Structure 1
């Protein structure tokens, strides 16, 4: 798209790209400005900022001691961030390094046990026991879930998907992780009511293969290398510059 000049303020050009840059900086609020009126509002805001800039220069605000102090503080902060980013970006991880890190840290990449389960949620134990009796007499669990469950999962036959430990309330989790595939629980009480739980699938904990977790391994390896480099750089700089820590 042509970078069209939309306005000038005190001889300075405001281009279409400036409006887009401001819109993108708004994050989730950007969409409300993605209209002709929204674009006009952003342009007017940029113009207002440029007018303040011209006024600040004319009044020599940039020469005031308070401004110079703030500017130096901001410059210092930005320079520290720039130096740190430059240091960290000098580190990379090869596939060979990642594989070695994986081989030495396989315990960090264990795939935890997961369970896939369905449930039926009702308000009372008596309701749950009655539904369980119907299921034992031939009513399909998914059909019973659609017919009786108060949980939105009833639309999919009560299916909750696959989950690891720590994702469900403790009472539900304790029951689900102690059951076998195809087993249906007796009523389980939680803060939400009474559940009948059916375990659809169990995936036991196992070691991951390198290819499964390669990107995660590389990120962890990179983080470790960056940390080591940062510590090493700090030690080098302490030898170069005087540091006095007051007791």
Structure 2
């Protein structure tokens, strides 16, 4: 593939490969915005500025200074250290059998709790709750319209919809009513610290375990990270014994 020259600065050719290398350093979600001709021109100008300043720095012999030598030594140390860590961690591998075994041994960790999807109407008194319930049961008004008419909860604008929730997310009295009542049946008034509720359960989902295929990738990632930490700690202990460390 042709590596098109985009500019020449201080005798150095700036190519499409250089431009793409700059773009690749940005986060994935930002790269699309850098594909316009205007943005590319701005990046090329940055590369030109870089080459001009680099040329100037060499002309005034900054590369001969002790500051430069110290900086290069630090950079070299960082690069070698990073490469050494990558070398150590790259040796860590996890087999499909290990992933499967971890899943089978820890199935309970991949459990999905039982949930219900419900709506409610919240009022201050039991009398108000019974009045709203009678209107709903008689067919005078729908539950959603009754919620908008009577409920003091902000969910009234969504017809009392609370969405899906599991145990432990609601106050005990409300939770008990939601999980024990029949789907589609308006409960008797339920008293809580907030007032009186009418509850209508739209759906129930039994507790379940996520399938192996659903969690395989996340299990693999976690096992790799866990084993990498172990390998890293092990290597550090070996290196400490080999090279010596004196903590003061």
Normalised TM-score (structure 1): 0.73
Aligned counterpart, 1:56: 57
1:10 aligns with 2:16: no
Out of 68-77 and 134-143, give the one that drifted further.
134-143
Instruction: Report 1:193-232 matches (<5 A).
Output: 198-232=200-234
SS in structure 2 opposite 1:73? helix
Aligned counterpart, 2:76: 75
Q: How far 1:18 sits from its partner (Å)? A: 2.4
- Note closer, same or farther for the CA distance 1:86–1:176 as it changes in structure 2 (3 Å cut): farther
Out of 91-100 and 197-206, give the one that drifted further.
197-206
User: Using the alignment, how far apart are the partners of 2:86 and 2:106 within structure 1?
Assistant: 27
Deviations 1:1-29 (A, max 9, x none): 74311111122211123223323434355
The alignment covers a number of residue pairs equal to: 237
- Note closer, same or farther for the CA distance 1:137–1:55 as it changes in structure 2 (3 Å cut): farther
User: Using the alignment, how far apart are the partners of 1:207 and 1:136 within structure 2?
Assistant: 37
User: Using the alignment, how far apart are the partners of 1:61 and 1:174 within structure 2?
Assistant: 75
Check the 8 A contact 2:93/2:224 in 1, yes or no. Answer: yes
Q: How far 1:99 sits from its partner (Å)? A: 1.8
User: Using the alignment, how far apart are the partners of 1:18 and 1:207 within structure 2?
Assistant: 49
Q: How far 1:57 sits from its partner (Å)? A: 1.5
Unmatched runs of 5 consecutive residues or more in structure 2: none
Check the 8 A contact 1:188/1:196 in 2, yes or no. Answer: no
Instruction: Report 1:67-106 matches (<5 A).
Output: 67-106=68-107
1:22 aligns with 2:22: yes
User: Using the alignment, how far apart are the partners of 1:99 and 1:219 within structure 2?
Assistant: 13
- Note closer, same or farther for the CA distance 1:32–1:109 as it changes in structure 2 (3 Å cut): closer
SS in structure 2 opposite 1:211? helix
Normalised TM-score (structure 2): 0.73
User: Using the alignment, how far apart are the partners of 1:152 and 1:50 within structure 2?
Assistant: 63
User: Using the alignment, how far apart are the partners of 1:62 and 1:119 within structure 2?
Assistant: 73
Out of 37-46 and 175-184, give the one that drifted further.
175-184
Which one has the largest radius of gyration? Answer: 2
Out of 214-223 and 179-188, give the one that drifted further.
179-188
User: Using the alignment, how far apart are the partners of 2:23 and 2:193 within structure 1?
Assistant: 47
Out of 106-115 and 226-235, give the one that drifted further.
106-115
Q: How far 1:55 sits from its partner (Å)? A: 1.0
User: Using the alignment, how far apart are the partners of 1:190 and 1:72 within structure 2?
Assistant: 67
Question: What is the RMSD of the two structures over their aligned residues, measured on CA atoms?
Answer: 3.8
1:175 aligns with 2:205: no
Q: How far 1:96 sits from its partner (Å)? A: 0.8
